[in-house]
Amino acid sequence: MIQMKTTVHKAETRGSSDHGWLKTNFTFSFADYYNPERIHFGKLRVINDDTIAPGMGFGLHPHDNMEIITIPLSGAVKHTDNTDGFGIIKHGEVQVMSAGTGIWHSEFNASETEELKLLQIWIFPDKIGVKPGYKTQSFGFDALQNEWLLVAGPVEMEGSHLKINQQAFVSFGKIEKGKQLTYKNYLPANGVYLFVVEGNLAVEGSLLERRDGIGIEGEPTLQIGSMEDSQFVIFEIPMK
């Protein structure tokens, strides 16, 4: 039996960059931020917390063999790619891009007046060289109450979630002050990384504030308590 291991990443310990039009905090090593102890959590490679100025964004650039998930927190993001993929998504909607054999894409703030805040997530795929693809879906996060909703999961799993090429499960949740939730792994061997979007949570004995994260290995059942109304993302991830 694997002994439970927890790793807490406080918000203020994340890497950061400020390009004027783009302000980012990096949970894991990315771009000019390098921390040898924070390269990835299992197959979870990137959690970037981006703020993008009105009308600005990332021009066309390539990726391959990566599952890239975008979760807008406020504002709207405009996506285009060389597979004729196009979408404008806002909070409550999620986009998944499977880079596969290679894809060129751009991501811009769709507004000329309001900032865009989003989470950009990269997950290593379990299949190399798949056909590139792009999909979006609306999940209606505002209706969530003391629950979470699976937004992305394995291709072969039935359900209304977006499909990714990995035995990973990404869920968005909301919990009210004083409430408790229990998260049970879809796959017991997976690790879990919880990222606090807003609020304050108690997770397996650790107190977490806004933008904190915690990685947990060896425990397929997660106890979540809330000290105030909170939002979070759960990444259930293969560790090998």
Please name each of the domains of the chain with its CATH number: 5-237 (2.60.120.10)
**What is the rounded distance in angstroms from the CA atom of residue 157 to the CA atom of residue 31?**
33
Task: Tell me the pLDDT band of 3, cut-offs 50, 70 and 90.
Answer: confident
Please determine, for residue 1, whether its predicted confidence score (pLDDT) is greater than 70. Answer: no
Those residues whose C-beta lies under 8 Å from the C-beta of residue 208, and which sit 6 or more positions away, are 8, 194, 196, 200, 201, 202, 214
Residue-wise pLDDT tens digits, 66-89: 999 999 999 999 999 999 999 999
**Percentage of residues in the chain having pLDDT higher than 90:** 98
Please determine, for residue 2, whether its predicted confidence score (pLDDT) is greater than 80. Answer: no
Average pLDDT, the chain: 97
DSSP 43: T
pLDDT of residue 4: 93
User: What is the model's pTM?
Assistant: 0.97
Give the mean pLDDT of 183-195: 98
Query: Structure tokens of 2?
Result: 């694997």
Query: Structure tokens of 215?
Result: 């990685």
